[in-house]
Structure 1
């Protein structure tokens, strides 16, 4: 890689990652990304503090669309950095194992899972399920219990590497998937896989530092131009239209609901958002939609 190419990545270095590290990431796990997608991926990695060299975050491109995925190692590290971390356990359940569990009701009225028995001998038979338990001081253990059928669809993924990993290393991938879910919930880690809409030439500039504070109020979204619109104003109007549609997809309809959404997600947003800010808002809403879809279908490791 030439010095000019290395210089182009200087602004993407962060933490312990050097410019040379970024170049290695570009030529290995990010080799399927175009330059815009790669810079967007690194911006998300930098904003979240996830290290691609340590397998904490990685990109996948399918049909010209970029998906940024967080690995279980990232969730483990962030959990260790959280207050009250006491470790986690993850186990597979095989068809010949003795396995029993039940639910109990905590003092606050919420239920939690208790594993009564899990013992085994050999041969254990095929894997039929599994569980992960995250331990946090002052809280009941948070347990995720899953059956194999809930993750079989990963073997049919149209993301090539994901399909390969789940097919060839199913047991390991299943354990990582359950551990990630347990740690994410127990330590309230709000890092989600992100899908960025657009083809090779339409990936927007990412605005990592402003994600929480980039939502304009509804009057700004709907306000008509006061003069003959410029090209920039036309673009802003187009993005506003998309924002309104995406909010409706989230079920956020009407000025009261929109106002509540804005108050919760972007109380400090200025009243003259730029194209980049509106694009960032659109991305944030899309990521929330994607997150709900993943929660419903457990899509993407």
Structure 2
């Protein structure tokens, strides 16, 4: 029975398409973390879309959202920023949350277009967030300045209060900053056209298909580690699973901003309950689920909640 299950697993894994520079372990880890609900064909399409747009899911640039059988892509702020950084003339994006005790004023031209902001943070405690602004700079172009107020925040806070609201009922300053920054990026750079153009090209079957996913027979790679026809496939297959899980741990630490070995060990000691000398697959899997919840909370706070249909 174990041989049959291992062979089926190898066949399923072999449907994953190699895209970009991702290795099989990385693709398997992403499939089991940010794309658990997607079928392998849906996951392949998601990765193809992201690759066409020059975005990297492992860096938090975007996540798949499943609606029935339809898969949407939610481009996160880091994704929009990455596209902007690749644009000609990129000079930076700056944003701040405006609080009750801050000094703030804005100047406009004759057409009512924002041309300058004057912001000075107040003395702590600065009070609750009342707005935010962002400036997107580009060589050869006028600065794009975006100013957001509470009416805009509240519209989204009503839909997702857990993401937008702090314990004291105020707006999360990080969400306010990302919200304004995303709008400034879209207004200053041609990123929206790039994303929508790639979407339309793929959906219509146009574009350079050679730049898309490449089917790769990875049976040899899988069986090299799992040996599905050998007498002890389960033991060897555990090594493959453990390798993929540890690779996912590395990616999760990066997403959580944990870079120092001492901090990684501290985090694991706190959230990974190990009974023996080394963690089992079940213990690592449980730890990864906790990390994924923490990542989702972190990304939700940074998300501009933009979704694009596949």
TM-score by length of 2: 0.55
Whether the aligned pair in 2 keeps the contact of 1:100 and 1:115 (CA below 8 Å) is yes
Please say if 1:170 is aligned against 2:168: no
Task: Give SS of 1:60's match.
Answer: strand
Q: Which residue number corresponds to residue 56 of structure 2?
A: 51
Task: Give SS of 2:191's match.
Answer: coil
Alpha-carbon deviations, 1:16-67, whole Å to 9, x = none?
3222222111111111334443233222112212110000111122455432
How far off is 1:192 after superposition?
Answer: 5.4
Paired with 2:172 and 2:70, the residues of 1 have a C-alpha distance of 25
Paired with 1:211 and 1:110, the residues of 2 have a C-alpha distance of 40
Q: Which residue number corresponds to residue 81 of structure 1?
A: 86
Q: Which residue number corresponds to residue 131 of structure 1?
A: 133
Alpha-carbon deviations, 1:127-151, whole Å to 9, x = none?
0100010111122110111013212
Paired with 1:64 and 1:209, the residues of 2 have a C-alpha distance of 20
Q: Which residue number corresponds to residue 155 of structure 1?
A: 157
Q: Which residue number corresponds to residue 14 of structure 2?
A: 7
Q: 5 Å matches for 1:160-199?
A: 164-167=162-165, 170-190=172-192
Give RMSD over aligned pairs.
Answer: 3.2
Whether the aligned pair in 2 keeps the contact of 1:12 and 1:43 (CA below 8 Å) is no
Give the structure, 1 or 2, with the largest relative contact order (CA under 8 Å, sep 6 or more): 2
Q: Which residue number corresponds to residue 206 of structure 2?
A: 210
When residues 44 and 23 of structure 1 are mapped into structure 2, their CA distance, relative to the original with a 3 A threshold, is same
Number of equivalences = 197
- Per mean C-alpha deviation after superposition, the further-off stretch among 45-54 and 75-84 is 75-84
Note the residue ranges of structure 2 that are not aligned, 5 or more in a row.
1-5, 209-303
When residues 88 and 81 of structure 1 are mapped into structure 2, their CA distance, relative to the original with a 3 A threshold, is same
